[in-house]
Amino acid sequence: MKYTVAIVLVLFIISSRAYPHDFDGRNGYIFDQSYVTRISESNASALLKIKNAGDVFLKKSKTTILPNGVKKSSDKLIFKAAGKPDLSLKSYVYKGKDDGDSQRFSYVSELGKYHLVVVEFDHDRPCFILVHKNTLKIYFVDYDSKID
């Protein structure tokens, strides 16, 4: 009986831990994930306290020099924040017989309290996500929507 209680207690502790978000494309596109908030370009501008966020994003280039709290490991971008589980964004490329699909994450820059990441798809224009430096909350900037 003691062992049963101990095993149940250990399993409870393990299951209640905060696990990192480890996105690798098996569950669809990044913008469809439950932990990602879709925002409009105007909301991104308000969040960053800048004008015309989309124009600002497009003028920036990808970089291989990563700030503290961000590292690249093979095909993953990994974000770290104190007291939070890591956030891992894994790029993928799928080449089918007649067609393919991809979702590639590249670090762009820091913008205030956020990391700016470009997301490139095979068949669509690149999009951007913002990752909050302290909470690792992800915002997908949706250019085609009037989300407000």
User: What six digits make up the tokens of 145?
Assistant: 């929507």
pLDDT for position 24: 57
The predicted-structure confidence for 108-130, as pLDDT tens digits, reads as follows: 999 999 999 999 887 777 889 99
Q: What are residue 139's DSSP bridge partners?
A: 37, 130
Query: What sign has the CA pseudo-torsion 15, 16, 17, 19?
Result: positive
The predicted-structure confidence for 11-42, as pLDDT tens digits, reads as follows: 333 333 333 455 555 667 788 888 899 999 99
CB 103 within 8 A of CB 95: no
Entry pTM: 0.78
How far apart CA 104 and CA 76 sit, in angstroms, is 9
